[in-house]
Structure 1
Amino acid sequence: MTPDARNMTDLFYGAINKHDTGELLRHFHPGAVLVTPVGVAEGAAEIAWLYEHIFVAFPDLTFTPWHQMLPGDPVFTEWTMNGTHTGPLWLPDGDTLEGTGRRITVRGCAAYALEDGLIVTHRVYFDQLELYAQLGCELSPGRS
Structure 2
Amino acid sequence: MFEAPIPRSALILGLAGLLPFFWGVVTMFVPAAYALTYEWLGGRFVAPFVGLQYGTIILSFMSGVLWGFATRAEGSVAATGYALSTLPALWAFFMVGGGPVTAAIALIAGFVGLLGLDWLFWNQGLAPRWWMALRLLLTTGVVACLLPVAL
Whose Rg is larger? 2
- Structure with the largest fraction of helix: 2
